[in-house]
Amino acid sequence: GSRAVVFFEVEILDAKTKDKLCFLDKVGTHPQFYPARQSIRLDPKGKSLKDEDVLQHLPVGTTATFYFRDLGAQISWVTVFLTEYAGPLVIYLMFYFRVPFIYAPKYDFTTSKHWVVHLACMCHSFHYVKRLLETLFVHRFSHGTMPLRNIFKNCTYYWGFAAWMAYYINHPLYTPPIYGEQQVKLALIIFLFCQIGNFSIHIALRNLRPPGSKTRKIPYPTKNPFTWIFLLVSCPNYTYELGSWLGFTLMTQCLPVAFFTMVGFIQMTVWAKGKHRSYLKEFRDYPTLRSPILPFVL
């Protein structure tokens, strides 16, 4: 089957060889298993070897057994992010413009009388345009690809939530926040503050990695005060992301938005804990004061 693990033995004739571990690509007998689909391990249950690994530095003798696993069809990260993020942008705008077949026909292409609805649309669109631009011009990803099947799961999540939130916020019967203008203004400040913070962290992470490399370093605060939160948390981009959605929840006072914020928070906490653990494992001198996502708490 395509997901079966097979193993093969390699005789290392020249111990100094710097050959990369893309055997099947070189053998050329199975062109469908292009290098990004290959997972090659020394132990069938162990971690996949890295693209940069060379035979010379592996803990093997003059012969070695490698285990190959097909990772399934791959799709580039950039394509994934563009699809995931362009969807919510377009879907939200369809509800905002009240295209036919969403609300009652008499509301087709009408606009809301509440200014907060227009502000919310600007904030939502800004958020996703920012993410699209960051994907194209800021992030330096270490993995070129991800399994194709993930895109269906991720798009269901992002597109589904965008539709659910947009349906209620742009609904002709939408009621604006209870504390009116003051609440919306405070929410906008929180939202913008966290958007700038999130962007600042993305720039700081980008600057940790020279172009074309995959190196990981300990992130530290830079001259930009928005990055000083690195003193207390390992993944402040998630902290700011959470803050942005809390701001958006306060602004719209809408239950599906609160729900999206909560689900996003749970997901980001799981990732932040994993990243925090890897930092501790990888760097002996990792600052002890840091928490994964919320200072001193989580």
Ligand X SMILES: NC(=O)c1ccc[n+]([C@@H]2O[C@H](COP(=O)([O-])OP(=O)(O)OC[C@H]3O[C@@H](n4cnc5c(N)ncnc54)[C@H](OP(=O)(O)O)[C@@H]3O)[C@@H](O)[C@H]2O)c1
- The answer to whether residue 277 forms part of the interface with ligand X (CB under 6 A) is no
DSSP single-letter state for residue 47: P
Choosing from 216, 269, 273, 295, the residue that interacts with ligand X (CB under 6 A) is 216
Q: Please give the angle made by the CA atoms of 199, 218 and 296, to the nearest 5 degrees.
A: 75
- The answer to whether residue 130 forms part of the interface with ligand X (CB under 6 A) is no
Compare residues 65 and 278 and give the one whose CB is closer to ligand X: 278
Question: Quick one: tokens of 30?
Answer: 């199975």
Choosing from 49, 162, 233, 268, the residue that interacts with ligand X (CB under 6 A) is 268
Choosing from 26, 185, 217, 277, the residue that interacts with ligand X (CB under 6 A) is 217
Interface mask (CB under 6 A) for ligand X, residues 170-209, using x and -? ----------------------------x------x--xx
CA neighbor of 96 nearest in space, from 105, 86, 85, 108? 108
- 75 beta partners: 146
Compare residues 7 and 220 and give the one whose CB is closer to ligand X: 220
How many Cβ atoms from other residues are within 10 Å of residue 79's Cβ?
A: 14
Compare residues 66 and 191 and give the one whose CB is closer to ligand X: 191
- The answer to whether residue 237 forms part of the interface with ligand X (CB under 6 A) is yes
- The answer to whether residue 273 forms part of the interface with ligand X (CB under 6 A) is no
Choosing from 241, 246, 248, 256, the residue that interacts with ligand X (CB under 6 A) is 241
- The answer to whether residue 97 forms part of the interface with ligand X (CB under 6 A) is no
Q: Which residue has the tokens 């992301």?
A: 241
Count of residues that interact with ligand X, criterion CB under 6 A? 20
How many Cβ atoms from other residues are within 10 Å of residue 262's Cβ?
A: 13
Long-range contacts of 251-254 (CB under 8 A, 24+ apart): 251/116, 251/119, 251/120, 251/123, 251/177, 251/183, 251/184, 251/187, 251/188, 251/191, 252/116, 252/120, 252/165, 252/169, 252/177, 253/176, 253/177, 253/178, 253/183, 254/165, 254/168, 254/169, 254/174
Choosing from 20, 140, 171, 273, the residue that interacts with ligand X (CB under 6 A) is 140
Binding site for ligand X (CB under 6 A): 139-143, 198, 205, 208-209, 216-217, 219, 235, 237-238, 241, 264, 267-268, 271
